[in-house]
Amino acid sequence: MEIKYVSTTCPYCGTGCGFNLVVRDGRVFDVAHWQRAPVNGGKLCPKGRYAHEFINSPDRLTKPLIKKDGEFVETTWDEAYDLIAEKLGSYNPDEIACLSSARTSNEENYLMQKFARVVLKTPHVDHCARLCHSSTVAGLAAVFGSGAMTNSIKDIAESKCVFVLGSNTFEQHPLIGRSIVRAKQNGGKVIVADPRYTPTARQADLYMPFVSGTDVAVLNGLMQEIIKNGQEDKEFIQRRTKDFENLKKAVMKDDYSLENVSKISGIPVESLRTAAEWIATADVATLIYSMGITQHTVGVDNVKSTANLMMLTGNLGKPGAGVNPLRGQNNVQGACDMGALPNVYSGYQKVTDEAAQTKMKEMWGVEEIAEGKVGYTVTEMVNILAENPGKLKAMYIMGENPMLSDPDLSHVEEGLKNLEFLVVQDIFMTETAELADVVLPAACYAEKDGTQTNTERRVQRWKKAQDPPGEAKPDWQILCELGSKLGYPDQFAFESPEAIFDEVAAVTPSYHGMSYARLDPDGLHWPCPTVEHPGTAILHRETFAMPDGLGVFSPIEWKPPAEVPDDEYPFVLTTGRTIWQWHTGTMTRRSWSLEKEAPIGWIEINPEDAKELGIKDDEVVRASTRRGSVDIPAKVTPEIIKGVMFIPFHYKEHPANRLTHNALDPIAKIPEFKACAVKVEKIPEE
């Protein structure tokens, strides 16, 4: 019997913890702590601890499948490739769209956007960052010139005031939660604002329950109070920023007095005053946010407002400070970095920039690539499919499950069913794969080499621990084989993920100095522009990444969500996750240790609301919005603010996204998962 330990990086959240996969006779059977793992020092949350359990699930896809007469039949790779080549070759580039995946490696995301742009010549490539942090990329790039976490995870422990807004860090990024605990142990204060009294809120010195969708009002109120008290960092504002007067004019309006903000948000005036005082007077303060900020029709405004507050108080470019968006999926930062987005190539080089187009054509050795226009986002693709049938005819989806993850599922299903041809490449038969014409079996994270980039911009290695099951292949290999088959053998002649990474490093300025040799074992934070560069844990130390080096204040007015409660739908619905499950549950629901802890969905209802509705704890109730209804067990709990209800979105039996609204932020095109109007009723007896 041979036992070996293979150090790798967690496939779940954006924290990027390292662990060892324990392999017996060529098969992974456990996870063991890797004490020198750079992010987590050997500690793991439950998902990481049990990240081996789904790998050898009997549900894994093991052969290519083609749908014939409505049924999937097993086929050969050659037959599947022939069909894909014939079909994709029959459409105009503008009629094809590709979805890449934050669950796959950097190399695979890079190849997917290259496949779309070089082989299919379509500009329509995107991935699920659209649904979680596209407002971060757009918002922070507009104010700082770089749309990423400004500081590192470790650095949070240096802070003397940690303001957590719209992030349930202790459940969703548990090992980042440890840095918050360390900040407390070092004498720092913790403020948490959230409609739910989450495990994160329990750590707070000041907890501010508030109504979902009122973030800008809260942030403007805090800024007004700080300016009124003369506590803004005048030297930082003068030296490092511009447009402060515009911001001041906006936030000093009576609309954002603490009294008015309290009425809008539900936060007591005294709490707002205390929060402003702590943030303004701390030696150094940091702001942590996640999807509570981003998943709104005002997601970009929310993000810019967080940046306003931290620039106002001079909390950028130094240890313990920063605007720190916690990215959701394991490699959502990397998928964005790799250009799996409709507007940029890797390293955020704009597709509309002629110099960037020329550079990519030269690097890729082709005369022609996708037209230099911005392609469709995920959310636009779905809307076009549902509302304008025939405009998009074919889709290639790698490792995404929009049939459970996207808003307004009836609309998504209607759209996907309008496709003439759908390819899905995944490790399990997902709800989306069920609709496909061809399903390709992919290798999971434990079955291939590669890299992923965590939320703090640290690029780390995945290492192969076992072979894929049956005939499944790594996504990179499938894309290389298809790219060659479709006429680009030289552009897809990669023998290994390392060879792909070398091309990534060559074409991507922020990755120029990286190589597999340098990434082992601690990884490197981008930007890392040269082979001698140590990487950059803290951004914007001296200047921001703007042409004039200055951070830009943005005057932002509070706007309510696109759909607010009314007589018919009198409550706010917000959605999110539990520590035990991950997104659409394809992996965690096949991990027995996790699934047994949280096997069914629920709706959280405040006891006062439940009493008015005559609803008891555990009773199955009907939650309805203008998009649909879901029958779901009620969890009556004082841990959610009155007037707001919460459903986790993992469960196909209780799909929260049948209810959510697909109204979009006008810039980032992110949907408003965090606020729509809902009614909840007792289920009538038959």
Tell me the per-residue interface mask from 616 to 655 with ligand SF4, x by CB under 6 A, - otherwise. Answer: ----------------------------------------
Smallest gap from residue 405 Cβ to ligand SF4 (A): 17
Smallest gap from residue 179 Cβ to ligand SF4 (A): 11
Element of type H or E holding 178 = helix 174-185
Smallest gap from residue 253 Cβ to ligand SF4 (A): 41
Q: Which residues of 142-151 are buried (b: 16+ CB within 10 A; e: fewer)?
A: bbbbbbbbbb
Measured in whole angstroms, how far is the alpha carbon of residue 561 from the centre of its chain?
A: 21
Answer yes or no whether residue 580 interacts with ligand SF4 by CB under 6 A. Answer: no
Distance, CA of 217 to CA of 256 (rounded, Å): 6
| Long-range Cβ contact pairs of 505-514 (< 8 A, separation 24 or more) | 506/363, 507/345, 507/346, 507/347, 507/359, 507/360, 507/363, 508/337, 508/338, 508/346, 508/347, 509/347, 509/349, 510/337, 510/347, 511/337, 511/346, 511/347, 511/459, 514/459
- Candidates 42-50, 180-188, 317-325, 515-523: pick the segment binding ligand SF4 (CB under 6 A): 42-50
Smallest gap from residue 178 Cβ to ligand SF4 (A): 9
Contact status, residue 592 vs residue 585, Cβ threshold 8 Å: no
Smallest gap from residue 13 Cβ to ligand SF4 (A): 3
- Candidates 37-45, 113-121, 436-444, 592-600: pick the segment binding ligand SF4 (CB under 6 A): 37-45
**The tokens 């030696």 sit on which residue?**
283
Binding test (CB under 6 A) with ligand SF4, winner from 21, 28, 44, 102 = 44
- Candidates 120-128, 168-176, 259-267, 338-346: pick the segment binding ligand SF4 (CB under 6 A): 168-176
| Long-range Cβ contact pairs of 633-638 (< 8 A, separation 24 or more) | 633/600, 633/601, 633/602, 633/603, 634/602, 634/603, 634/605, 634/610, 634/680, 635/602, 635/603, 635/604, 635/605, 636/605, 636/606, 636/607, 636/610, 637/604, 637/605, 637/606, 637/607, 638/197, 638/606, 638/607
Question: For residues 13 and 427, which CB has a smaller minimum distance to ligand SF4 in the complex?
Answer: 13
- Candidates 39-47, 155-163, 438-446, 529-537: pick the segment binding ligand SF4 (CB under 6 A): 39-47
Tell me the per-residue interface mask from 185 to 224 with ligand SF4, x by CB under 6 A, - otherwise. Answer: ----------------------------------------
Smallest gap from residue 48 Cβ to ligand SF4 (A): 2
Smallest gap from residue 176 Cβ to ligand SF4 (A): 7
Write the DSSP symbol of residue 86: H
- Candidates 40-48, 58-66, 230-238, 349-357: pick the segment binding ligand SF4 (CB under 6 A): 40-48
Smallest gap from residue 586 Cβ to ligand SF4 (A): 15
Question: For residues 48 and 292, which CB has a smaller minimum distance to ligand SF4 in the complex?
Answer: 48
Tell me the per-residue interface mask from 122 to 161 with ligand SF4, x by CB under 6 A, - otherwise. Answer: ----------------------------------------
Distance, CA of 240 to CA of 205 (rounded, Å): 31
Write the DSSP symbol of residue 157: G
Q: How many residues bind ligand SF4 (CB under 6 A)?
A: 14
Question: For residues 327 and 658, which CB has a smaller minimum distance to ligand SF4 in the complex?
Answer: 327
Answer yes or no whether residue 48 interacts with ligand SF4 by CB under 6 A. Answer: yes
Distance, CA of 454 to CA of 329 (rounded, Å): 9
Residues 5-34 binding ligand SF4 (CB under 6 A) are 10, 12-13, 15-17
Residues contacting 426, CB < 8 A, separation 6+: 61, 397, 398, 399, 401, 432, 433, 439, 440, 441, 442, 586
Question: For residues 288 and 678, which CB has a smaller minimum distance to ligand SF4 in the complex?
Answer: 288
| Phi, psi (degrees; rounded to nearest 5) at 384 | -65, -45
Smallest gap from residue 44 Cβ to ligand SF4 (A): 4
Question: For residues 15 and 151, which CB has a smaller minimum distance to ligand SF4 in the complex?
Answer: 15
Measured in whole angstroms, how far is the alpha carbon of residue 382 from the centre of its chain?
A: 18
Smallest gap from residue 50 Cβ to ligand SF4 (A): 10
Distance, CA of 396 to CA of 394 (rounded, Å): 7
Residues 483-502 binding ligand SF4 (CB under 6 A) are none
Smallest gap from residue 649 Cβ to ligand SF4 (A): 17
**The tokens 């407390």 sit on which residue?**
184
Question: For residues 11 and 319, which CB has a smaller minimum distance to ligand SF4 in the complex?
Answer: 11
Write the DSSP symbol of residue 572: E
Question: For residues 17 and 66, which CB has a smaller minimum distance to ligand SF4 in the complex?
Answer: 17
Question: For residues 42 and 643, which CB has a smaller minimum distance to ligand SF4 in the complex?
Answer: 42
Q: Which residues of 391-422 are buried (b: 16+ CB within 10 A; e: fewer)?
A: ebbbbbbbbbbbbbbbbbbebbbebbebbebb
Smallest gap from residue 458 Cβ to ligand SF4 (A): 12
Smallest gap from residue 197 Cβ to ligand SF4 (A): 21
Contact status, residue 116 vs residue 122, Cβ threshold 8 Å: yes
Smallest gap from residue 39 Cβ to ligand SF4 (A): 7
Name which of 450, 356, 369 is nearest 125 in CA terms: 369
Binding test (CB under 6 A) with ligand SF4, winner from 45, 480, 524, 656 = 45
Distance, CA of 16 to CA of 645 (rounded, Å): 31
Question: For residues 10 and 211, which CB has a smaller minimum distance to ligand SF4 in the complex?
Answer: 10
| Phi, psi (degrees; rounded to nearest 5) at 326 | -95, 110
Binding test (CB under 6 A) with ligand SF4, winner from 60, 87, 173, 458 = 173
Question: For residues 19 and 544, which CB has a smaller minimum distance to ligand SF4 in the complex?
Answer: 19
Name which of 518, 563, 559, 533 is nearest 672 in CA terms: 563
- Candidates 38-46, 158-166, 245-253, 334-342: pick the segment binding ligand SF4 (CB under 6 A): 38-46
Smallest gap from residue 407 Cβ to ligand SF4 (A): 24
| Phi, psi (degrees; rounded to nearest 5) at 674 | -90, 0
Smallest gap from residue 655 Cβ to ligand SF4 (A): 23
Distance, CA of 217 to CA of 251 (rounded, Å): 9
Question: For residues 87 and 458, which CB has a smaller minimum distance to ligand SF4 in the complex?
Answer: 458
Contact status, residue 454 vs residue 328, Cβ threshold 8 Å: no
Question: For residues 60 and 178, which CB has a smaller minimum distance to ligand SF4 in the complex?
Answer: 178
Binding test (CB under 6 A) with ligand SF4, winner from 38, 147, 174, 317 = 174
Q: By beta-carbon distance, which residue lies closest to ligand SF4?
A: 48
Name which of 173, 196, 213, 208 is nearest 324 in CA terms: 173
Element of type H or E holding 80 = helix 77-88
Six-digit token string for 405: 């993850």
Binding positions for ligand SF4, rule: CB under 6 A: 10, 12-13, 15-17, 40, 44-45, 47-48, 173-175
